[in-house]
Amino acid sequence: MGIDLHKETHTAVMLDCWNRKLGEITFENKPSEFSKLTRKVSRFVTEEKTAVYGLENAYGYGRTLAVWLLEKGNVVKDVNTSLSYAQRKSVPMYQKSDSYDAEAVALVLINMLDRLPDAVPDDKYWTLSQLVNRRDNICTHQSRLKNQLHEQLCVAYPSYKQFFSDISRTTALYFFNKYPSPEHLRGKSAEELADELRPISHNNCSVKRAKKILDLIQSDGETKREHQESRDSITRSLVSDLEHYRVQLEEVEKAIERMLLEFHCTLMTMPGIDVITAANMLSEIGDINRFPNANKLAKFAGIAPVNFSSAGKGKDMCPKQGNRRLQAIFYFMAIQMIQISVNGVPRNKVFREYYLKKVEDGKNKQQALICIARRLVNIVYGMLKNHTEYREPEQ
């Protein structure tokens, strides 16, 4: 059974081992409707036959169906979308419909049954990936709102960047919510402003800081313009949204920390990896046991070189495939490993020396960083596989 997955409905096409079409069904994407699929399949399954279900991306819209089929004891395979796409494009007259797409999935399933991975939708890793995606979305919204707030503040307070180090922190949000423009501060003394901000800032706002803010506002001159009240309402609205997302971000990050406890993850013992980086990495890798060795993980991440050759001529090149998000994580980890501190001490002496050696050997900086990322794959693979803590590599 090849199944083309969608948000609201799924289309399934049944083929036999000679690629003959036996039937087709479209059903809603909800558990109460999934039995229609198995009932239709049961008409053609005899004692000599076994039904095999192929889902195009079993971890997206088809995850609920995959879980349901596995609970019923069925064989479920995950069909990579690139394979079904290649199958659709392999015919002289290209077609595009739900039925044809499902048939293409079924053809891939028949031709590559022994090589396709089993669909293993693990709730633990799936939930972690949902939390990571939620955090990414919140951070995206925060960045968008901060840019809009910058646009408003640069008119009302030309020197606002010197008030606070970050306008999205609690103290700054409180200040700009209560004082969206300078006219709201008229008659306010430095002592009064400091007394007001001190509990919000956990006693970090002194009279000196308050006086500096008031002096900067005074030096900016008159910034009041027509329709100032409307612009003030925009500023307050943006501050309110930022405060909402700040609370949401804290809740999601706490949920990620609690979730990581179930994985017995030791990645945080490695310099440069915090809780969020570890969660991002685990959500992309999934169960480490699905990779028999570190080479497979490197290939999955798009870090292992691929040989392109013809007639005995060619060379190893950087692949364009692979998990780009996971590749980015390893690449930025490699950058952190070779960084020099303010005191001039390398963060990781071994990796720094390895990087310099690769540059001396003729590789450019990006290629040298890829080499470090490849070594990091080996380390991360071993830590996840054996649940061991990080140890400094030997020189």
The single-letter DSSP state of residue 389 is P
User: Residue 67's domain is classified under what CATH number?
Assistant: 3.30.420.10
Q: Is the pLDDT at 321 greater than 90, yes or no?
A: no
Nearest CA among 351, 349, 340, 345 for reference residue 378:
351
Q: Which residue is it, tokens 């925060």?
A: 142
List, for residues 184-228, the tens digit of each pLDDT value. Answer: 998 899 999 999 999 999 888 899 999 999 999 999 888 888 888
pLDDT of 306 over the 80 cut: no
- Range of the structural domain that residue 66 is part of: 2-121
Would residue 233 count as lying in a domain? Answer: yes
Left (φ > 0), alpha (ψ -120 to 50) or beta: where does 5 sit?
A: beta
User: Does residue 210 lie within any of the structural domains?
Assistant: yes
pLDDT at res. 54? 94
Asked if residue 184 belongs to a domain, the reply is yes
pLDDT band for position 341 (cuts 50, 70, 90): confident
Residue 392 inside a domain? The answer is no
Q: Is 130 in the same domain as 231?
A: yes
Domain co-membership, 236 together with 288: no
Two tokens at 93?
């007259």
Confidence of residue 392 (pLDDT cuts 50, 70, 90): confident
Same domain, 248 and 220: yes
pLDDT-above-90 percentage for the chain: 61
* pLDDT of the residue at 244: 94
The domain that contains 160 carries what CATH number? Answer: 1.10.287.4070
The total of structural domains in the chain comes to 3
How far, CA to CA in Å, does 233 sit from each of 196, 240, 242? 22, 10, 14
Cα distances (angstroms) measured from residue 167 to each of 2, 107, 148, 161, 227: 52, 56, 12, 8, 24
Q: Using CA atoms, how far apart are residues 162 and 165, in angstroms rounded to an integer? A: 7
pLDDT tens, 374-390? 999 999 999 999 989 98
| Band of pLDDT at residue 320, cut at 50, 70 and 90 | confident
Q: Which of 121, 144, 175 is the last residue in one of the domains? A: 121
What is residue 342's predicted lDDT score, i.e. its pLDDT? 77
Whether residues 65 and 96 fall in one domain: yes
Residue 84 sits in the same domain as residue 169: no
| Averaged pLDDT for residues 98-122 | 90
Q: 46 and 74: one domain?
A: yes
- If asked whether residues 326 and 367 sit together in one domain, one would say yes
Name the pTM for this structure: 0.82
Distance, first Cα to last Cα, the chain: 54
Tens digit of each residue's pLDDT (9 = 90 or more) over 243-256: 999 999 999 999 99
